[in-house]
Amino acid sequence: MTNKKSMEEVSITRLIERYDLVVPEIQREYVWGNNEYEILDIFLSDIKEGRNNISRTFNMDTKIQTLLELAKSADDNTRNVLLESVETLKSDSIKNNSINIGFLYSYKPSYYINNDRDEDVYLIDGQQRFTTLFLILFYFGLKENRLNDFLDLFRFNSSLEKIAFDYRVRTLTHHFIIDLLSYTQTLEDLLELKDKNWFLANYQNDVTVQSIVGYSEDKSRRGAFPIIHQHFKDDKTNYFDFVKDNIKFWHFKTEESSQGEELYITMNSRGQELADNETIRAKLFEPLSPKEAIEWSEKWEEWQDFFWKRRNKKSLNSSADNGFNEFLRWVQIIKMSVRLDKEKKEALSENSIEDVIQWDTVKKLDVNYLSLQEIYLYYKVLCYLFEDFNLDVELLKSKYSGYSNFDLLKTDCLSPTKGTISQIECFQLLPVLHYCSRVLEANEKINAPNLFRLIRFFFNLSRDTTIKKSARKLTINAIEIVDKLAVNADVSDIIGLTDEVSKTILDSEEKIKFEKYKTSSKRRELEALFWEAEDIKQVEGKINHLIEFVNNSTTSDADFLPSFKKILDSYKELIHSEEEIWGDLLPTGVYHENEHRVYYDQKWYKSDDFLSFTEDRKLAKGLTLDEFLINKRKDFIKQRYLNADNLRAETTLKYQLYLYYILHQNILNQWRWNGRNFGVYYQEEVPDAVSLFNNNRIYQYYKTRWRRGHTNGIWLQDHYIPKTKYFGRLITWASK
């Protein structure tokens, strides 16, 4: 009886038992043997890994063989039990250790005659994978002395030139397949195909044949058989049975799926559902003619290849579906956001878009916001961003001296570990995708500098805590902003859209930066400096404090850039030397004090006193940092204290701490650093400690909480030597 299921999971063996598969002429040539992304290498590595995992984890062959040996000498009842166990092991082995490599779409040709055996079906999609498996099986048929099994499996008849997998409507390719199977008897024959008498000169002109055997004129284009041999020539493992029985497809017969059918189809008894991209595919393909379906199937397979190559190989459950489904979600979010803006929020709610951005496992993609043309457009955007754009970035690097952070789009977004990228990553990525799509849709060349500026803008904003908290809503606004910009526009043109842009996105700092970009005669140099400053870890992308500080110290726009560069150089040096300079910030506004605490400002890097400290460092660039700090310490003492009595009379707590710090660093060499905050005691509370100051304050340092102890007290307070002139030594040192 003919199987009427529109889709089921099948192995190669089961598929070939039922059908003769034909690759129609309209399908693209076989190209995996000459794929620049090394798809075939990845595919073979996955097969090898899958086969080896079975051997390591289950070792079924050994178990089965042991049970069969025991059954030979067992009584009848025991033998039956053992043989049943063998069958169970075999069944479990196949069930638990199969590799599903996606979908195989087919349709019946116009000459189709319904019968129970050897039906002809034309492949709409999946022929690259199936052709590859056909070649792999032939290779292992030769390598493992299973050639007859291979020929029987595919019902090969040399005299009638018939085979159960055929490029029948492509005459030259068909003849090559027939000759290949007729005349190749050993692995040595296979590796010397082009030297055989039967190998016609015309075969080398056939794209599919070239992809199978390799290219004579270009040794770098290896061909499928040479690649397969390279992977398996030294491998002693048997693969023939594994490939024909354990590698499986979801076979989808388009002629047996009713129009408009809900395609959340349950697959066999395991209740597994179609991946979102396959559900969408089925719906999008419904209105297409067979010819259109084949043309779009070629593109769809190309899209799957793109995501398959970039899947997360560290995850056992990763597949092309993960990235492809996520990509379709991006397209849906973008189209919904654009439509929301154009329809003035009447037919579509912002909340519904936020739900798609937030996403969860029960949500499904909506075909109403997806079309094959749109998907193709955004696929071309991905190809540019994650392939061609790298070349443009290399050219940009030479134009941005001093700036090096160009790797802002991470490829792991194409196969996110959690299935979807985060909301803040949506904010960072989706406006960029839409920007590029508008350029390609207008048949223009993407302006790489302007694109990078846009990428950089959203990348920098994504570090803002406020934006992270409102990422869903702001993602929609970001897409709307890009949609309103001119094609290939400069991101600084956003300041012309003030009324339509969220003030969280276009805050006062971003306006100032954009205005400076637009008026600067050395924009790239200024951008490089601003971007470099934004990337300092502590500032989290916010540099208005630096811009304002330089603005207040310069009199003209021409002076701003060189002044900012000098300040930034000193600022970076001090920020990166935080462990060395922290003590010298004690007497500044970076530190605050009350009766019980001396504590530092969490935003110390933005404080006016730290910026003044930076200015001092800029003016002393002829000195090393150590020389600069020592001079600061000496000046502090000389400007405030004439003698030791003046020092003992000091009452400002953070000044006392600074004097302790100088003593320990430059005279006693005994400072122990365990935190930036200090607890304050009266000496009577700590009778075993000694203060150098008249007001008898005792200090201990801490990180988050404090309590008195010798391990975290000021060293000199616990090791004071009577009659030692500590302050006298300090005055003498400062005067040198």
Match 């090791």 to its residue by tokens: 719
HEC assignment per residue over 151-194 = HHHCCCECCCCECCEECCCCHHHHHHHHHHHHHCCCHHHHHCHH
- Asked if pLDDT for residue 266 goes beyond 80, the answer is no
CA distance 365 to 282: 13
**Over the range 74-90, which residues count as b (16 or more CB within 10 Å of their CB) and which as e?**
eeeeeeeebeeebeebe
Q: Is the dihedral of CA 48, 51, 57, 63 positive or negative?
A: negative
CA distance 617 to 632: 10
> Coil, strand or helix: which one is 273?
strand
Structure confidence by residue, pLDDT tens digits, 458-507: 999 999 999 999 999 999 999 999 999 999 999 999 999 978 899 999 99
CA distance 558 to 278: 58
Q: Count CB neighbours of 374 within 10 A.
A: 17
Alpha-carbon distances, residue 589 vs 198, 323, 417, 573 (angstroms): 89, 50, 45, 20
CA distance 51 to 97: 8
| Residue 583 or 118, more confident | 583
Structure confidence by residue, pLDDT tens digits, 350-364: 889 999 999 887 688
- What is the DSSP code string of 599-613? EE-TTGGGSHHHHHH
Q: Count CB neighbours of 36 within 10 A.
A: 8
* Average pLDDT for 362-371: 88
CA distance 679 to 599: 9
> Would you state the pLDDT for residue 347?
57
Of 552, 625, 523, 521, the closest CA to residue 582 belongs to 625
User: Which H/E stretch holds residue 376?
Assistant: helix 372-383
Structure confidence by residue, pLDDT tens digits, 497-537: 978 899 999 999 999 999 999 999 999 999 999 999 999 99
- What is the DSSP code string of 344-373? TTSSS-HHHHHHHHH--TT----GGG--HH
- Asked if pLDDT for residue 272 goes beyond 50, the answer is no
| Residue 425 or 283, more confident | 425
> Would you state the pLDDT for residue 286?
84
Mean pLDDT over all residues of the chain? 86
> Would you state the pLDDT for residue 524?
96
Structure confidence by residue, pLDDT tens digits, 206-230: 889 999 998 766 555 689 999 999 9
Q: Count CB neighbours of 397 within 10 A.
A: 11
Q: What angle do CA 263, 265, 269 make, to 5 degrees?
A: 175
* Average pLDDT for 240-255: 86
- What is the DSSP code string of 95-133? HHS-EEEEEEEEE--TT----SS-EEEEEEE-HHHHHHH
Q: Is the dihedral of CA 558, 562, 563, 568 positive or negative?
A: positive
Hey, what are 696's tokens?
């008898």
Greatest Cα-to-Cα distance within the chain, rounded to the nearest angstrom? 115
Strands 266-267, 697-702: pairing is unpaired
Q: Are 72 and 82 in contact (CB under 8 A)?
A: no
Q: Are 394 and 453 in contact (CB under 8 A)?
A: no
In terms of average pLDDT, the best of 267-276, 407-416, 655-664 is 655-664
> Would you state the pLDDT for residue 704?
63
> Would you state the pLDDT for residue 292?
86
Structure confidence by residue, pLDDT tens digits, 7-52: 678 999 999 999 999 988 767 788 888 866 678 888 898 888 878 7
pTM of the complete model beyond 0.85:
no
Confidence of residue 259 (pLDDT cuts 50, 70, 90): very low
- Provide φ and ψ at 41, rounded to 5°: -60, -45
- Asked if pLDDT for residue 344 goes beyond 90, the answer is no
HEC assignment per residue over 205-226 = HCHHHHHHHCCCCCCCCCCHHH
> Would you state the pLDDT for residue 93?
55
CA distance 717 to 712: 11
Residues of the chain by 3-state class (helix, strand, coil), percent to 5? 60, 10, 35
Structure confidence by residue, pLDDT tens digits, 534-553: 999 999 999 999 999 999 98
For the chain, the structural domain boundaries read 7-58+97-246, 304-506, 578-735
Percent of the chain with pLDDT over 70: 85
- Provide φ and ψ at 255, rounded to 5°: -75, -15
Structure confidence by residue, pLDDT tens digits, 623-641: 999 999 999 999 999 999 9
- Asked if pLDDT for residue 652 goes beyond 80, the answer is yes
The sheet carrying 697-702 orders its strands as 591-593, 597-600, 677-682, 697-702
Length of the chain: 736
**What does the radius of gyration of the chain's CA atoms come to, in whole angstroms?**
36
- Asked if pLDDT for residue 712 goes beyond 50, the answer is yes
Strands 19-22, 165-166: pairing is parallel
Q: Are 10 and 249 in contact (CB under 8 A)?
A: yes
Confidence of residue 92 (pLDDT cuts 50, 70, 90): low
* Average pLDDT for 570-594: 95
Percent of the chain with pLDDT over 90: 58
Alpha-carbon dihedral angle through residues 121, 33, 160, 2, given to the nearest 10 degrees: -20
Of 630, 433, 461, the closest CA to residue 540 belongs to 461
Match 């005055």 to its residue by tokens: 731
